[in-house]
Amino acid sequence: MVQTAKVRRIIDEKSAEVEVERISACGENCASCKSPCGEKRLMTIIAQRDMPVQVGDTVVVESRTSQILSIAAVVYVVPLIFFFAGYFVGAWLGLTESGLILVSMLAFAAGFLVSVPVNRSVKKKSSIVFKIISVNN
């Protein structure tokens, strides 16, 4: 994934703090749903660098798309898996339709309870590596 960012501070000779616009999961193309994802949200990240940059420079940062997608999978797919697992467990137990709906929704909520701490842990560990690949003065 490639994004444009602005250098906020030089940390050392190999890294800089940059501010990048956070991209929503829907790709910012959701005007009809009135969700807040269309609002401009900035994120501060640490990016590796092997070229000289100065505070205020506009740079292009790159990260591995697979890292971003794996985090998205945790946040979006895990609750969905829990939902279907809840449904099938409820069906195996012989629950009524109302029971299946209730168990599925509870399992879906449990999926979020699992995915949110995992997402926060990944953010704290900064396992996503950003690298400055070019400078646009």
CA atoms of 110 and 78, how far apart (whole Å) = 9
Its pTM surpasses 0.75 = no
pLDDT band at 107, cuts 50/70/90? very high
> Distance between CA atoms of 22 and 16, rounded to whole angstroms?
18
Examine the pLDDT at 85 and tell me if it is beyond 90. yes
Buried b (16+ CB within 10 A) or exposed e, 6-34: ebeeeeeeeebebebeeeeeeeeeeeeee
Q: Residue 119 and residue 72: Cα distance in Å, rounded?
A: 9
Is 134 within 8 Å of 57 (Cβ atoms)? no
Q: What is the pLDDT of residue 35?
A: 57
CB distance 63 to 128 below 8 Å = yes
Any idea where the domains of the chain sit in the sequence? Answer: 2-136
Q: What pLDDT is attached to residue 137?
A: 64
Which pLDDT score, from 0 to 100, does residue 13 have? 85
Average pLDDT (61-89) is 82
Q: What is the pLDDT of residue 91?
A: 94
Mean pLDDT of 33-48: 70
Average pLDDT over residues 69-92: 87
